[in-house]
Amino acid sequence: MMLDQFTRLDSTAALPQGKLMYKYTIVNLNPLPDRNTLIDKMRPNMINAYKTSQDMAGLRKLRVTLVYKYADEKGNELAQFEIGPQDIQLSP
C-alpha cells in the first residue's frame, strides 16, 4: 500500500517479545537517503505518531515496541530502528 509518493508499506508482522514490525520500501527517490539521514528524519515522526495517534492507543496500552525497516526498490536494507514505551513517556 502506498502511503505517500515515496513510501510503500509492504508488510507488518508480529514478532516475539511484544514487538510489531513494519516493512517499508522507499520508491521513486533518487538519490536515496543514507541510513543516518533516514533515521534522523523518520524516527521523530514515528515517535510522535505512536505517542499521539488514536489508532495506536491499543498498542501503547499493551506496551508494544514498534520495529521499522526500510529498504530500497531492490530489497536492500536502508535502515532499521525501534520505538518502544521508553520513547513515548507521557507526562503525568
**DSSP bridge partners of 21:** 13, 67
In the numeric block, the cell 492507543 is attached to 57
User: HSE (CB half, 13 Å, CA atoms) of 70?
Assistant: 21
CA dihedral of residues 27, 30, 33, 38 (deg, nearest 10): -30
Q: Summarize the confidence of residues 24-44 as an average pLDDT.
A: 93
pTM over cut 0.85 = yes
Q: Summarize the confidence of residues 54-68 as an average pLDDT.
A: 96
What pLDDT does 89 receive?
77
What pLDDT does 90 receive?
54
Q: Domain 7-85, what architecture?
A: 2-Layer Sandwich (3.30)
- What are the boundaries of each domain within the chain? 7-85
